[in-house]
Structure 1
Amino acid sequence: MPFLKSPARFLLHYVTRRPLAFALLALLVVGGASSAVGVQYAMKLLIDSMTVAAPSHTAVYFALAAFVGLVAIENGLVRGAAMLLCNITVASGVRIRLDMFHYLTGHHIGFFQNQRGGSLGHRVGALTGSFQALTHRILMEITPPLIAFGGALLIFLAIDWRMAVAITGIFVAASTGLVFLGMRGDKYHKAFARAASESGGELVDLVGNIAAIKSFGARRRESERLAGFFQTEAAAQKRGWMFVERIRALHDVALVILVGGALVWAVERWIGGGITAGDVVVVSAMTFRMLNGSRDLAMALIDTSQQFSYLRETLEIVGAPHALEDAPDAVPLQAEKGEVRIEGLTFGHHPGRPVLHDLSLEVAPGQKIGIVGPSGAGKSTILQLVQRLHDPQAGRVLIDGQPIDRVTQDSLHQAVAVVPQEVLLFHRSILENIRFARPDATDAEVRAAAEAAHCAGFIALLPKGYDTIVGERGTNLSGGQRQRIGIARAFLSKAPIVLLDEATSALDTGSEIEVQQALDALMAHRTVLAVAHRLSTVVGFDRVIVVEQGRIVEDGAPLSLLRAGGAFQRLWALQAEGLDAPIERREFPRFVAGTALRMFGLSPRPPLRLVERQAAG
C-alpha cells in the first residue's frame, strides 16, 4: 500500500476515495465562514442606517434582513458541514480500520513476536483518530480563521488601508509566534504519545496474563508496577497540557492589549469624523474575531503538526513493508495429492547464524513423517518454512511440484492444516471456532468434524453445547479439549497436508490418549509432518527423520532406526529411562487402557515393547 509511506499520502488517499463528499464539505465550510464575515458587515450597515441624521426605514430593514439572513445561512451551513463531516469521517474510519487489519495481518510472523498486541490494536485505532482529527482541524479550525482574515482585510481596506496593514501585521505576527512557541512543545506531546502507548500495551499484557497474576498472588505487586507506567504517562500529559495553557495565557494578555489599542484608534477616528459608528463596531468585532482566530489557527496548526507526527510514527510501525509478499505473478496453489519436497534449505533468523543447513527431504503423498531431535535443532523451523512463515536464504519448498514462493500465501495456508502445541481459540462459540477453518461449512459438516476429532462427547456436556462461548483464547476449556477443537478445525479444512508441532507434548496422560486418538483419525489418508517430543507418538509413522544442528542425521522407518543404534535409538533410550515417572491416580485407568490396547495390537500405533523387541531381534 503506497499511501502508507507518508502521512500526507495517507490523508490524501482516504480523501480522494470520497471526492464529491469532501468537495461538498469544503464548499459548506467556505460558505459558512464567508457568511460569518458577512454578518459582521451587515451589522455595520444596520448601525450606519440607524445612526444617520434621517434614517430610512427601508435601509434599516434591508440591513436587518441581511443580518438575520446571513446569521441563518451561517448556522445552517456550519451545521450541515458538521453533519457531513461526521458521516464522512465515521465511514472513512471503518474503511481505515479494515484496510489496516488487512495490511497488518499480512505482516511476517516475526513482526507480531516483536510487538505487543495491545499496542498494535491501539495504533490501528489511533490511525482512525488521526484521520478524523486532521480532517476536522483542517476544515473546521484552520479554514474558517483564514477566510475570516481575508474577509476582515477587505473590510478594513474599505475603511482605512493603514488599519488593514496594521491588523494584518498583528495577525501574522501573533499566528507565527504562537506556532513557533507551540512547535517547541512538540517534544512533550511525542513523549505523552509514547507513554500512553506503552502503558496501554502494558495493561493489555497484564489482562492477557491474569491467570499468572492470580496464581502467584501478584495483584498488588503488578498494580504498583502498573502505577509507575500510569504516573509516567500522567506526568508527560501534564507537561504538554500546561505548556499549551501557558501559551494561551500569553495570547490572552496580548489580545487585551491589541483589541484595546484597535478600539482606541477606531474611536479616535470616529471622533475626528473619519469613520462611522458602524465602522467602529465592525472594526472592534473583526479585530476581536481575527485575534481569537489567530489563536485558534495557531493551536490548530500545532495540533495538526502533532497529529502528523503521531501519524508518521504509527505508519512507520503498522505500515512497515511486508517481509513476505506474494509474487506479482502468484497463482493459487493446486494441492490435490499432498506431495512435499524440500530442496537444499538453508535458513536462519540471522543470516550469519543459520538454523538449517542445506536440508533436503521428500515426502510422498499420504506419507507420515515424524521429525525428532534435541531442542533447538530446527524441527519447528522446518514446519514454518513449509507454511512459508519465513523465506529461506537458499533452497526451496515445493507442494505437488509447485514452488510455494510462486503461489498465493492464502491458498498455501488453506492447503496445510496445522495443529500446534497450544491451540488458540477466539472468544466465540465452539461452533464458530471450528467453522473458522472453513466459513462456508454447514452446521452438519462442523458437527461431523467434531465427531471425528472426538469432541462431541465433551461438547454435549457443556451448558449450551456448540453455542458455548469458550472464553478469551479458549480459557473455559481444558488443554485437551482445546487441542481437539484444533483437530476438528483441521478435519473441517480438508487440507491434504497436516503439520503437527508437538501437538500432545503439553498434555497429561489422559488428555494425550484422547487427543492421540483424534490425531490418528485426522492423519488417515493425508500427508503428515509431525514434530514430536514424545517418540511414542511417531513409532507408527512411515518414516522418522532425526534433526541435529539443522541437518538430517538419520532418516528411515522407526524400527530400522532403532536397530541401527544411532541417534534415534539414543533418544529412545533417554525417554525410556523416564517411564518410571509416577502417574496420577486419576490417570491410571486411562494409562492402563491405552497400554493394553497397544500390548494386544489394537492401537493404530505399534506396542512400544514390541517395537523394542523387534529392534533388538
Structure 2
Amino acid sequence: MIGRWLRRIEEIIDPFGDEAPGGHGRRRVGALAPLPDTANRFIWRFALEAKAPLFGLLLTGGLTGGVEALLYSGVGWVVDALETSSPATLFREHFWLLAGLLALTLILRSAVLLFGALLEEQVVVPSFYNRIRWQAYRRLMEQPYTFFQNDFAGRIAQKVMQVGEAVGDFVVTLLQTFWSFVTFVILSVSILGAIDPAMALVLFVWALGYGAIVYYLLPRIRRWGRAAADARSVVSGRVVDSFTNILSVKLFDASRNEDDYVREGFRENVAVVRRLTRSLTAVRTAVNVLNGLMISAVGLLAILSWQEGRISSGAVATALGLVLRLNQMSGWMMFNINGLVRNYGTVQDAVATVTVAPTLLDRPDARELAVREGEIRFDAVTFHYGKGSGVIENLSLTIRPGEKVGLVGRSGAGKTTLVNLLLRLYDVEGGRILIDGQDVASVTQGSLRAAIGVVTQDTSLLHRSIRDNIAYGRPDAEEDEVLAAARRANAEDFIGSLRDPRGREGFEAHVGERGIKLSGGQRQRIAIARVLLKNAPILILDEATSALDSEVEAAIQENLAAMMAGKTVIAIAHRLSTIAALDRLVVLDAGRIVEEGTHAELIARGGLYADLWARQSGGFLQDEAAQ
C-alpha cells in the first residue's frame, strides 16, 4: 500500500520527459528544440516543466519558516504562562495554549516537513534532476562528429551530470531553504515589532546588512564558482583521457609525463578554489560580525524593556530565541546562498556546452533515403575542413550500382575524408553527393547511415556484451542471426572462450571500454560481424582487415566476398593486395583523382599506382607523405 502510494508520488515528474518537438518519439537529428543558452532562462525552462512539485516546495518552504517562528513565539507564551500560573493550575488555565503548541509541534510541523521531504527526496531529486540530464544528453547526441573531436569525452559527460544536479540544487535551495529563511525573517520582524518597535528596527537594519553582504560579496563567489566548475571539468577530462589511453601510457612508460599533465590541471583547480574560498571566508567573517551586533542590540533592548516593565519575561524569551535562531539560520543560509551561487556558476559553465546549437542538422523537409540500386555520385565535391584550401578539390566520381571500387593513395590523400562526407559526418563545402539521385544533404541522417555498413580501421566497441555489439546496427535481430554473423566473421571460436571479471561468458561477456579486453583482430572481427548482420545495400571498408593476421584474413575473405555481393562497395586499404581484385581502383593524390582503372590497367600505365605497388613491402604501403 505505502509502496504503491510512493510510486504514484515518484511518477509526478517524468525523468525522461522532453517538452521539445519529438520529445517522446523516435529520436531524429535536428528534431529537438535547442535548450536556452543563458543560465536564467535555462533554469526557468525546467522549472516550468515541474510547476506543481516546485510550487509545493515553495509552499512547504514558507510554512516551515512560519512554523519555526511560531514555535519561538510559543516559548515566550509558555514562559508567561509559567509566571502567571501555579503547577496545580497550569494545565487548567492554559490547556488550549499548550494543546495548540503540541499540535503545532507534533502535527502541523511534522506534516509540513514530511510533505517537503517527500517532494524533495522522492519527486524532485530523482526525477527532476534526471529530466535535465536526459534532455542535455539528447541534445549533445545531436551534435556533429566534429563537436566530440574538439573536447574531452569525460568533460562533456561531466557537464551533463553537473547541470542536472546544479539546476536541481539551485531550485530546491531557492524554494525550500532560502524561502523558509526569508519567511522566518519577515515573521521575526513582525513579532519583534509587536513586542518592541526598536527591536524590529534592529532586525530590519540587520536584514539590510545581510542583503548588502549578499549583493556585494557573493558575485565574487559566483565568478570564482564558475571558474572552479570549469577547472574541475578540465581535471576530470584529463584524468579520463589518461585512463582511456592507459595502454599508450604504459607502452611509452609515460606515467611521469601524465602525472605532470594531470598535476597541472589539479594545480589550476586548486588555485581557483583558493580564490573561491578566500571570498567565502570574507563572507563568513562579515556575517559573524553582523550577527554579533544584532544579538547584542536585541538582547540589550529586551533587558532594558523588561526592566522598565514594558515587556514580560516571555517576550524576552521570544526575542532572544528568535535572534539566536536567526544567528544560527543566517550562517547556515549564507552557506546555502554560497551553494546557490556556486550552482548558478556551474549552470552557466555547463550551459556553454550543452546548449550549443548543432551545426549539422537534417533539413526541415528531409526525406528518408530510398536506396533502389546503390549508385553513388560525387559531383564537383570540395572540402577543406574550413581551412580554405587542401584535402578535397572539385572531385567528381560516379560509382555504379553494385560496383566495387577501391580508393588508393598516400596518407592524407583524402580517402577517409571522402567516405566521411558520404556518411555526412561533415557537410561538403562545395558540390554535392548523390545516392540514387538523392542528395545526402536532403535526406535524414538516420536513414542515410542505416543504408551504409562501415568497417573502419580504428574499431571501437561499446562496453557491453558481445551480442549487443554485434546486434548494434540491428537490435531486433534474432539470436540465430547474431550467431550466424559471428560465424561468418570467423569470431565464434574466440567468443566462446571469453569470460569477463563478473563471470559473464561467451556472447554475454562485456568487452571493456572501447573493446579494450579484446585484441585488435578480435575487435575487427566483431566489427565485421556487426556489418554482416546489418546487411546494408552500401558497404564501406576502411582498412577492414588491417588488424587481422594472414590466416584469419584468408578465412573470412570468402565471407567478405559474399557480403559484398550485390552491394555497392567502397574499400580503402594501404595493403593493396586486399583491393587489387576490385572492379575499379581510384587513385587519389592531394584531394584529386589522378588515375582510375583496374589493377592490371594501372600497373600497365606506370603511374602513381604502379609506383605505390612497386614500393610495397610485405604487402603494406609505405607512408610517402614526407616525399
Give the TM-score normalised by structure 2.
0.87
Query: Counterparts in 2 of 1:340-351, with a 5 A limit?
Result: 340-351=376-387
Alpha-carbon offset, residue 90 of structure 1: 0.9
Partner of 2:97: 63
Q: Distance between the aligned counterparts of 1:364 and 1:391, measured in 2?
A: 23
Partner of 2:541: 500
Partner of 1:13: 45
- Does structure 1 retain, via aligned residues, the 8 Å contact 2:498–2:506? yes
Q: CA 1:184 to 1:462, structure 2 compared with 1: closer, same or farther past 3 Å? A: closer
Q: Distance between the aligned counterparts of 1:219 and 1:376, measured in 2?
A: 31
Give the secondary structure class of the aligned counterpart of 1:274: coil
Q: Which of 369, 381, 385 pairs up with 1:333?
A: 369
Q: CA 1:318 to 1:268, structure 2 compared with 1: closer, same or farther past 3 Å? A: same
Q: CA 1:185 to 1:8, structure 2 compared with 1: closer, same or farther past 3 Å? A: closer
- Opposite residue 116 of structure 2, the aligned amino acid is A
Partner of 2:118: 83
Q: Which of 48, 52, 59 pairs up with 1:27?
A: 59
Partner of 2:15: none
Alpha-carbon offset, residue 228 of structure 1: 4.5
Query: Counterparts in 2 of 1:267-306, with a 5 A limit?
Result: 267-306=303-342
Q: CA 1:209 to 1:2, structure 2 compared with 1: closer, same or farther past 3 Å? A: closer
Partner of 1:604: none
% identity of equivalent residues? 32
Q: Distance between the aligned counterparts of 2:103 and 2:85, measured in 1?
A: 26
- Opposite residue 30 of structure 1, the aligned amino acid is G
1:485 aligns with 2:520: no
- Opposite residue 433 of structure 2, the aligned amino acid is V
- Opposite residue 201 of structure 1, the aligned amino acid is G
Alpha-carbon offset, residue 134 of structure 1: 0.8
- Does structure 2 retain, via aligned residues, the 8 Å contact 1:178–1:295? no
Count of paired positions: 579
Q: Which of 473, 496, 504 pairs up with 1:437?
A: 473
Residue by residue over 1:525-584, the C-alpha shift from the partner in whole angstroms, topping out at 9 and shown as x without a partner, is 211111221221221111111111211122223322222222322222222xx2499xxx
1:533 aligns with 2:574: yes
Query: Counterparts in 2 of 1:84-123, with a 5 A limit?
Result: 84-87=119-122, 88-123=124-159
Partner of 1:608: none
Partner of 2:584: 543
Give the secondary structure class of the aligned counterpart of 1:343: strand
1:152 aligns with 2:152: no
Alpha-carbon offset, residue 269 of structure 1: 0.9
Give the secondary structure class of the aligned counterpart of 1:417: strand
Q: Which of 394, 415, 423 pairs up with 2:451?
A: 415
- Opposite residue 35 of structure 2, the aligned amino acid is F
Q: Which of 350, 368, 378 pairs up with 1:314?
A: 350
Give the secondary structure class of the aligned counterpart of 2:113: helix
- Does structure 2 retain, via aligned residues, the 8 Å contact 1:44–1:279? yes
Q: CA 1:529 to 1:197, structure 2 compared with 1: closer, same or farther past 3 Å? A: same
- Does structure 1 retain, via aligned residues, the 8 Å contact 2:302–2:316? yes
Q: Distance between the aligned counterparts of 1:210 and 1:40, measured in 2?
A: 60
- Does structure 1 retain, via aligned residues, the 8 Å contact 2:62–2:176? no
1:470 aligns with 2:505: no
Q: Distance between the aligned counterparts of 1:580 and 1:446, measured in 2?
A: 33
Deviates more, 1:362-371 or 1:301-310: 301-310
- Does structure 2 retain, via aligned residues, the 8 Å contact 1:437–1:489? yes
Q: Distance between the aligned counterparts of 2:93 and 2:471, measured in 1?
A: 76
- Does structure 1 retain, via aligned residues, the 8 Å contact 2:401–2:567? yes
Q: Distance between the aligned counterparts of 1:580 and 1:355, measured in 2?
A: 26
- Does structure 2 retain, via aligned residues, the 8 Å contact 1:337–1:365? yes
Alpha-carbon offset, residue 108 of structure 1: 1.3
Alpha-carbon offset, residue 220 of structure 1: 5.1
Poorly superposed stretches of 4+, deviation over 6 Å = 53-56
- Does structure 1 retain, via aligned residues, the 8 Å contact 2:576–2:619? no
Q: CA 1:59 to 1:510, structure 2 compared with 1: closer, same or farther past 3 Å? A: farther
Deviates more, 1:423-432 or 1:298-307: 298-307
Partner of 2:413: 377
Deviates more, 1:375-384 or 1:558-567: 558-567
Q: Which of 560, 580, 595 pairs up with 2:601?
A: 560
Residue by residue over 1:273-316, the C-alpha shift from the partner in whole angstroms, topping out at 9 and shown as x without a partner, is 22222221222222233344444444433432322222111111
Give the secondary structure class of the aligned counterpart of 1:472: coil
Q: Which of 17, 35, 47 pairs up with 1:3?
A: 35
Q: Distance between the aligned counterparts of 1:364 and 1:521, measured in 2?
A: 19
Q: Which of 274, 283, 288 pairs up with 1:252?
A: 288
Alpha-carbon offset, residue 242 of structure 1: 5.0
Q: CA 1:500 to 1:76, structure 2 compared with 1: closer, same or farther past 3 Å? A: same
Q: Distance between the aligned counterparts of 2:391 and 2:265, measured in 1?
A: 38
Q: Distance between the aligned counterparts of 2:451 and 2:93, measured in 1?
A: 82
Structure number with higher helix proportion: 1
Q: CA 1:350 to 1:432, structure 2 compared with 1: closer, same or farther past 3 Å? A: same
Residue by residue over 1:142-176, the C-alpha shift from the partner in whole angstroms, topping out at 9 and shown as x without a partner, is 11111111111221232233332331121121232
Give the secondary structure class of the aligned counterpart of 1:335: coil
Give the secondary structure class of the aligned counterpart of 2:300: helix
- Does structure 2 retain, via aligned residues, the 8 Å contact 1:171–1:294? no
Give the secondary structure class of the aligned counterpart of 2:133: helix
Give the secondary structure class of the aligned counterpart of 1:499: strand
Q: Distance between the aligned counterparts of 1:59 and 1:248, measured in 2?
A: 46
Query: Which protein has greater RCO, CA pairs closer than 8 Å, 6+ apart?
Result: 2
Q: Which of 25, 44, 53 pairs up with 2:76?
A: 44
Computed over aligned residues only, the root mean square deviation of the Cα atoms, in angstroms, reads: 2.4
Q: Distance between the aligned counterparts of 2:513 and 2:376, measured in 1?
A: 35
Q: Distance between the aligned counterparts of 2:174 and 2:181, measured in 1?
A: 11
1:74 aligns with 2:109: yes
Q: Which has the larger radius of gyration?
A: 1
Partner of 2:612: 571
- Opposite residue 542 of structure 1, the aligned amino acid is D
Q: Distance between the aligned counterparts of 1:252 and 1:15, measured in 2?
A: 34
Alpha-carbon offset, residue 238 of structure 1: 4.4
- Does structure 1 retain, via aligned residues, the 8 Å contact 2:485–2:530? yes
Q: Distance between the aligned counterparts of 2:203 and 2:354, measured in 1?
A: 45
Q: CA 1:6 to 1:314, structure 2 compared with 1: closer, same or farther past 3 Å? A: same
- Does structure 2 retain, via aligned residues, the 8 Å contact 1:351–1:393? no
Q: Distance between the aligned counterparts of 2:594 and 2:355, measured in 1?
A: 42
Q: Distance between the aligned counterparts of 1:403 and 1:225, measured in 2?
A: 45
Q: CA 1:148 to 1:566, structure 2 compared with 1: closer, same or farther past 3 Å? A: same
Q: Distance between the aligned counterparts of 1:459 and 1:425, measured in 2?
A: 14
- Does structure 2 retain, via aligned residues, the 8 Å contact 1:270–1:277? yes
Query: Counterparts in 2 of 1:123-162, with a 5 A limit?
Result: 123-162=159-198
Partner of 2:464: 428
Deviates more, 1:522-531 or 1:554-563: 554-563
Q: Distance between the aligned counterparts of 2:261 and 2:375, measured in 1?
A: 52
- Opposite residue 71 of structure 1, the aligned amino acid is T
Alpha-carbon offset, residue 253 of structure 1: 3.4
Alpha-carbon offset, residue 472 of structure 1: 2.3
- Opposite residue 536 of structure 2, the aligned amino acid is A
- Does structure 1 retain, via aligned residues, the 8 Å contact 2:229–2:345? no
Partner of 2:564: 523
Deviates more, 1:230-239 or 1:166-175: 230-239
